[in-house]
Amino acid sequence: MTRPGAIASIARRISRRLLMELLLSLREEMDSALREALEVLVPGLGEESISRAVFGPTKSPEHGDLATNAAMVFSKEHGRKPREMGEELAARLGEHRFVESAEVAGPGFVNVRLSRAAFVHVLHCIGELGENYGEGTLGQGESVLLEFVSANPTGPMHIGHCRHAAVGDALARLLRAAGHDVTTEFYINDAGTQMEALGESFRQRCFEAAGMPADAEGTQYTGEYLAEFARDFVAGKCVEELQGMAVEDFAQEARDRNLQMIKSDLEHMGVFFDSFVAERDLHESGEVAETLQKLRESGRVYEKDGALWLVTDGFGDDQDRVLVKSDGAPTYLVPDIAYHHDKFKRGFGRYINVFGADHGGYPPRLRAGISHLGHDVSRLTILLLRLVFLLREGKRVKFSKRAGNFVALADVVEEAGSDATRWFMLSRSVDSELEFDIDLAREATNRNPVYKVQYAHARICSVERKGRGAKLRAAEPSGQVLERLSAQVERDMVLALAQFPEIVERSARELAVHHLPAYLLHLADLWNSYWSLARTEPGMRILREDDRELTEARLLLASALRQVLANGLGMMGIAAPRKMLREEEDA
RNA sequence: GCGCCCGUAGCUCAGCUGGAUAGAGCAACGGACUUCUAAUCCGUAGGUCCCGCGUUCGAAUCGCGGCGGGCGCGCCA
């Protein structure tokens, strides 16, 4: 059954996709211009070599808008002088319609000043692609299974999970934007000894809540949340009923309640999963047993000291690992390999796992197991996220799970809000530890980058509203319109907007989420500077009653900027508000 | 001891496959509110890019060797 709107929606998506392939980004246009020029200048240059030469933004306006190092890269291996090659390259590039002038500078850079047509092109792309501007075709529809968070259903999530949730969700959005077909998955560790311990802990809590003799302190999980679950659970139940329950029943109940709590917490961050896979199901379906059997058949296991060992040689591990202990019980490794066996059997193009860096020793043995099952382990990428520290009043809050005084994800999100929490969790490279300054995150001032960016977006919406009130609309991009956007800031803004697609592509390629917030902050700064020019120079106001043409040109630039801010925030899972109330108006 | 990550401005961190005078945010200092939302802007100051050697026309970036910090190296999960 197809809903009426669905076809139109699909048609729209297809045409956007087509448009995207026809409408190359400025960078793509310039790169292909460079390739064409190089193919003529340096015949026989392979694809491999050509890709080493690219255009990049310049640091100073004196060097034009874009620069390439191509002449320096290739002159050496072809026994030419860099500047001489640069001259030839510049001459060729100068013929391109997006190039106003190209000249050699320094040791052999070719600096390009872009033509008005190039600027028109950028604004045209943004206008045509709208909310799809920034998306790309890098992924080519390849399917990706992205696993993240996978918090144990034994208790609440802590601040570390916050980073995992934010990063995983943003990666999903980025990969989708880059043209991948992404499925997000949460793995539920609901089997083994920790479930038994959870069951016993919960049973004691229930007995306690029902006024029966109990030993809740002696159990493994002592958090208050279990006691709350217990009070809720025992309400209306008689003593006999509780006494008649097996540990497994208590474990089941606690597991369900914990999972519900985890899902609800993630919901508050706006994080939803496409799929949940339970370890228990892997046991019940025979998947775990099958995996163990297949591992035995692979010949990459052996018996020693009464235990079954997995050969990890060649996968970066420093020793082999036990699969089945001498008491006959499998280690955690077996179901985990089984889970990945299951993943691979589902046939995705690529698998990405987001793990904590404290599991750093884990990928080698996991990869070994998967590989022994005959899967192409190069399709699996494991991302290790470093620790998060909560900073309150300028000091790191000490926390440890054992002491039970950890910082709960739910509390952080409630205190700082989902938007600010996400922003900070995404703002650092995953290889760096992250200091989360909660006082800064909850501040609604200019010190807080997320508000600065959201404010810039809201401000643009505000000026657009005002413009609409006066029947002023954004102009269609054209050479004539661009002629009116001649200020250096305006030039800088268009150039910055042109970078968005490559920022997205690079982020997706590197699985690095932190470029986006840095870029968006830069855009917001540009806009705020632009906006503020009017304070000392009334002619720089966006809305000029005395110059309709200029106003509509500036509204074009403003709306393009709003679009990119909104698209970028969207990829981070952060709202792009159309309005932000000032504190005194906040009622 | 071995493996991975980090070491860049007072603090927290960016610096893409090596590229032109090293950047941002916060903090500091000096300015700007009869606003198209000052939740903002302008300006100033601030760095032996941990150290050494090497590769290169060119190194914060690559290689090697140190130093300092984090994490990981269980028949725990």
In this complex, the nucleotide whose C1' atom is nearest to the CA atom of residue A463 is B36
Q: How far is the CA of A432 from the C1' of B54 (A)?
A: 28
Residues 323-342 of A with CB under 7 A from strand B: 325-327, 331-332
Residues 235-254 of A with CB under 7 A from strand B: none
Q: Is the CB atom of residue A220 positioned under 7 angstroms from any atom of strand B?
A: no
Q: How far is the CA of A71 from the C1' of B20 (A)?
A: 14
For residue A571, the model assigns a pLDDT of: 97
**Alpha helices (runs of H) in A188-303, residue ranges in sequence order:** 193-209, 224-234, 239-243, 247-268, 279-284, 287-298
Q: Which is higher by pLDDT, A32 or A282?
A: A282
Residues 253-272 of A with CB under 7 A from strand B: none
Q: Which amino acid is at A522?
A: H
Do A320 and A312 touch, CB atoms closer than 8 A?
yes
What is residue A148's DSSP assignment?
-
Nearest Cα residue to A132 out of A493, A387, A500: A500
Establish how many alpha carbons lie within 13 A of residue A176's alpha carbon, considering only the half-sphere containing its beta carbon. Answer: 16
pLDDT in tens, A205-250: 999 999 999 988 888 998 899 999 999 999 989 999 999 999 999 9
Nearest Cα residue to A556 out of A127, A152, A2: A127
A89 Cβ contact partners less than 8 Å away, ≥ 6 residues apart:
A37, A38, A41, A68, A70, A71, A102, A110
For residue A585, the model assigns a pLDDT of: 40
For residue A17, the model assigns a pLDDT of: 65
Instruction: Kindly tell me the number of DSSP H helices and DSSP E strands found in chain A.
Output: 24, 15
**Token representation of residue A16:** 């956007």
d(C-alpha A149, C-alpha A168), whole Å: 8
Q: Which is higher by pLDDT, A10 or A96?
A: A96
- Ramachandran area for residue A411 (φ above 0: left; ψ -120 to 50: alpha; else beta): alpha
Which positions of strand B lie within 7 Å of protein CB atoms? 1-6, 12-17, 19-21, 23-27, 32, 35-42, 57-58, 70-77
pLDDT in tens, A92-115: 999 999 999 999 998 889 999 999
Q: Is the CB atom of residue A183 positioned under 7 angstroms from any atom of strand B?
A: no
Nearest Cα residue to A145 out of A340, A421, A401, A426: A340
pLDDT in tens, A145-200: 999 999 999 999 999 999 999 999 999 999 999 999 999 999 999 999 999 999 99
For residue A310, the surrounding DSSP H or E stretch is strand A307-310
Q: How far is the CA of A424 from the C1' of B43 (A)?
A: 29
Residue A201 has pLDDT above 60, yes or no: yes
Residues 381-400 of A with CB under 7 A from strand B: 384, 386-387
Taking 3-state DSSP, the helix, strand and coil percentages for chain A, each rounded to the nearest 5, stand at 55, 15, 30
For residue A5, the model assigns a pLDDT of: 63
For residue A183, the model assigns a pLDDT of: 98
Percent of chain A with pLDDT over 90: 75
Q: Does domain A148-281+386-442 have CATH number 3.40.50.620?
A: yes
Of the candidate ranges A35-44, A123-132, A528-537, the one whose mean pLDDT is the lowest: A35-44
pLDDT in tens, A26-47: 999 998 899 888 888 877 776 6
Residue spans per domain, chain A: 24-114, 148-281+386-442, 449-585
Establish how many alpha carbons lie within 13 A of residue A110's alpha carbon, considering only the half-sphere containing its beta carbon. Answer: 33
Q: Is the CB atom of residue A89 positioned under 7 angstroms from any atom of strand B?
A: no
Q: How far is the CA of A542 from the C1' of B41 (A)?
A: 16
Question: Which strand ranges, in their side-by-side order, compose the sheet holding A321-324?
Answer: A301-304, A307-310, A321-324
Q: How far is the CA of A166 from the C1' of B48 (A)?
A: 38
Percent of chain A with pLDDT over 70: 93
The class of domain A24-114 in CATH terms is: alpha beta
For residue A38, the model assigns a pLDDT of: 87
For residue A586, the model assigns a pLDDT of: 39
Q: Is the CB atom of residue A445 positioned under 7 angstroms from any atom of strand B?
A: yes
pLDDT in tens, A445-500: 777 899 999 999 999 999 999 999 999 999 999 999 999 998 888 999 999 999 99
For residue A20, the model assigns a pLDDT of: 67
For residue A61, the model assigns a pLDDT of: 82
For residue A54, the model assigns a pLDDT of: 78
Site of tokens 């000091």: A395
**In the CATH scheme, what architecture does the domain A449-585 have?**
Orthogonal Bundle (1.10)
d(C-alpha A23, C-alpha A329), whole Å: 59
Q: Is the CB atom of residue A551 positioned under 7 angstroms from any atom of strand B?
A: no
A121 Cβ contact partners less than 8 Å away, ≥ 6 residues apart:
A26, A29, A98
pLDDT in tens, A478-493: 999 999 998 888 999 9
In this complex, the nucleotide whose C1' atom is nearest to the CA atom of residue A530 is B41
pLDDT in tens, A311-353: 998 898 989 999 999 999 999 999 999 999 999 999 999 999 9
